[in-house]
């Protein structure tokens, strides 16, 4: 942590947010943080050099009128959740590299999870489709993210026993609550759930409470200050870096190549912006694709009769499957007999998540106006049941 002049995250005094003191684990060859309930660090104490064990040098940032503790977030979901906790758990379940082997999957379990992942059709807004667990070490952060938010609660109950699955659900619910403004009134509950997950981690995975696991107890404070997790993570920076890398056409003089490409693209963006200004940009917009299929563009999401894009919640709290889209409205089937996916630690319906049997038989159509579309679902099928989980960024208050 050169920028704040403090020691590294995996040193004994490594927590940026609290005064917990880690212990070196000879079993895991890293520092672990068994204590989750320690006093918070404060800006005043940082500036008064109270944290002598932690400070390595003065930082020029001290000259700025900022909070030296609160203004340095640790809850970047890309690194903390997706490439952090979710990756650690999935690799651990597959390979059994936790010291407690009760959570290890058999080889045929791993194969079945892979088969499920390869059949999942994620909505058009999620550009990367899922790969199998055999390619886990090549998964991008966004694949761990899709698994965590949209697939884990569908497939994990088939391969985990009750204890570890219910433990995982406290992480799932805690992080989901931190991921949408819609749940901001229950952030206290989220904190309790995440604290439970961290404090009971050793029951199923050994005393492997690394900095990433420990930091989960600090994320609700940051969500209160900065907003839902997806509003201050590093995905936009990683995406931009990816675009910049793709601009390179040869191995020499990379910086000047990138400068040229950026200048060119700047011109393109300006011309696109001026064109966009002249176009009406009122959503929803009805579009027709090359297969003559109508698509409704709501700005943040699209609805069409493609299998992965055709389920949404109405403002009357009805789940609808698109049957037909016209220029005036949507004709759709109402999904009947929905129930909770899980009941503990809270009912899944509190988080707008439901399941139902695959719908058969004669169904009557309803007419839904575009104004009555509330948010979109990610829908997956497992064992003849349909699972409805809100596409998070479409879920607004
Ligand atoms: Zn801490």
**Ligand 1 geometric centre to CA of 395 (Å):** 30
Q: How many CB atoms lie within 10 A of CB 270?
A: 10
**Ligand 1 geometric centre to CA of 91 (Å):** 25
Reduced 3-state DSSP string for the chain:
CHHHCECCCCCCCCCCCECCCCEEECCCCEEECCCCCCCECCHHHHHCCCCCCCECCCCHHHHCCCCCCCCCCCCCHHHHHHHHHHHHHHHHHHHCCCCCHHHCCCHHHHHHHHHHHHHCCCCCCCCCCCCCHHHHHHCCHHHHHHHHHHHHHHHHHHCCCHHHHHHHHHHHHHHHHCCCHHHHHHHHHHHHHHHHHHHCHHHHHCCCCCHHHHHHHHHHHHHHHHCCHHHCCCHHHHHHHHHHHHCCCCCCCHHHHHHHHHHHHHHHHHHHHHHHHHCCCCCCEEEECCCCCEEEECCCCEECCCHHHCEEEECCCCEEEEEEECCCEEEEEECCCCECCCCCCCCHHHHCCEEEECCCCCCCEEEEEHHHEEEEEEEEEECCEEEEEECHHHCCC
**Ligand 1 geometric centre to CA of 138 (Å):** 30
Q: To the nearest whole percent, how much of the chain has pLDDT over 90? A: 71
pLDDT tens digits, 249-290: 777 778 877 777 777 666 555 555 555 555 556 899 999 988
pLDDT average, residue stretch 97-124: 91
pLDDT at 301 over 80: yes
pLDDT average, residue stretch 175-191: 97
The mean-pLDDT minimum among 25-34, 104-113, 387-396 falls in: 25-34
Mean pLDDT computed over every residue of the chain: 90
Residue 289 is predicted with a pLDDT of 85
Report the C-alpha gap between 90 and 157 in whole angstroms: 14
**Ligand 1 geometric centre to CA of 326 (Å):** 54
The mean-pLDDT minimum among 94-98, 128-132, 318-322 falls in: 94-98
Residue 260 is predicted with a pLDDT of 76
pLDDT at 382 over 70: yes
**Ligand 1 geometric centre to CA of 38 (Å):** 7
Q: How many CB atoms lie within 10 A of CB 274?
A: 9
**Ligand 1 geometric centre to CA of 240 (Å):** 31
Report the C-alpha gap between 69 and 280 in whole angstroms: 45
- Residues lining ion ligand 1 (Cβ < 5 A) are 15, 17-18, 20
Q: To the nearest whole percent, how much of the chain has pLDDT over 70? A: 91
The mean-pLDDT minimum among 66-70, 215-219, 350-354, 355-359 falls in: 355-359
**Ligand 1 geometric centre to CA of 222 (Å):** 12
pLDDT at 167 over 60: yes
pLDDT average, residue stretch 135-142: 96
**Ligand 1 geometric centre to CA of 256 (Å):** 42
* Per-residue confidence band for 342, with pLDDT thresholds at 50, 70 and 90: very high
pLDDT at 110 over 90: yes
* Per-residue confidence band for 291, with pLDDT thresholds at 50, 70 and 90: confident
Residue 211 is predicted with a pLDDT of 94
**Ligand 1 geometric centre to CA of 18 (Å):** 4
**Ligand 1 geometric centre to CA of 93 (Å):** 26
Residue 207 is predicted with a pLDDT of 87
**Ligand 1 geometric centre to CA of 37 (Å):** 8
pLDDT at 359 over 60: yes
Q: Is residue 18 within 8 Å of 38, Cβ to Cβ?
A: yes
Residue 239 is predicted with a pLDDT of 75
Residue 37 is predicted with a pLDDT of 94
Report the C-alpha gap between 295 and 155 in whole angstroms: 30
pTM as predicted: 0.91
Report the C-alpha gap between 390 and 117 in whole angstroms: 18
The residue ranges of every structural domain in the chain are 1-72, 77-231, 247-278, 285-394
Residue 100 is predicted with a pLDDT of 66
pLDDT average, residue stretch 188-196: 98
């Amino acid at each position: 942590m050169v920028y704040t002049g403090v020691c590294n995250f995996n040193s004994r005094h490594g927590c940026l947010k609290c005064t917990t003191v880690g212990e070196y684990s000879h079993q895991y060859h890293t520092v672990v943080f068994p204590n989750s309930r320690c006093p918070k660090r404060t800006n005043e104490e940082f500036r008064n050099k109270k944290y002598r064990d932690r400070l390595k040098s003065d930082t020029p940032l001290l000259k700025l009128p900022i909070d030296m503790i609160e203004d340095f977030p640790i809850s970047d979901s890309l690194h903390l959740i997706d490439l952090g906790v979710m990756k650690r758990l999935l690799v651990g379940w597959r390979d059994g590299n936790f010291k407690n082997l009760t959570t290890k999957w058999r080889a045929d379990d791993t194969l079945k999870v892979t088969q499920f992942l390869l059949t999942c059709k994620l909505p058009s807004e999620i550009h990367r489709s899922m790969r199998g667990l055999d390619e886990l070490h090549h998964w991008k952060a966004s694949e761990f993210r899709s698994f965590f938010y949209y697939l884990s609660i569908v497939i994990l109950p088939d391969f985990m026993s009750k204890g570890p699955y219910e433990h995982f659900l406290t992480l799932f619910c805690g992080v989901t609550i931190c991921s949408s403004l819609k749940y901001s009134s229950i952030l206290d509950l989220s904190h309790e759930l995440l604290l439970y997950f961290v404090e009971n981690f050793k029951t199923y995975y050994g005393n492997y409470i690394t900095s990433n696991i420990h930091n989960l107890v600090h994320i609700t404070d940051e969500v209160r200050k900065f907003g839902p997790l997806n509003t201050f993570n590093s995905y936009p920076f990683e995406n931009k870096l990816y675009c910049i890398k793709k601009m390179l056409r040869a191995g020499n003089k990379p910086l000047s190549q990138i400068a040229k490409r950026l200048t060119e693209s700047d011109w393109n963006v300006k011309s696109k912006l001026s064109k966009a200004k002249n176009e009406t940009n009122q959503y929803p917009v009805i579009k027709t694709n090359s297969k003559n299929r109508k698509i409704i563009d709501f700005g943040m999401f699209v609805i069409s009769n493609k299998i992965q894009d055709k389920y949404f919640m109405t403002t009357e709290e009805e789940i609808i499957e698109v049957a037909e889209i016209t220029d005036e409205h949507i004709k759709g089937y109402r999904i009947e007999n929905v129930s909770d996916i899980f009941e503990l630690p809270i009912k899944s319906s509190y988080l707008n998540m439901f399941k139902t049997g695959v719908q058969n038989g004669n169904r009557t159509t309803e007419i839904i106006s575009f104004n009555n579309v509330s948010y979109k679902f990610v829908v997956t099928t497992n064992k003849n049941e349909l699972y409805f989980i809100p596409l998070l960024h479409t879920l607004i208050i």
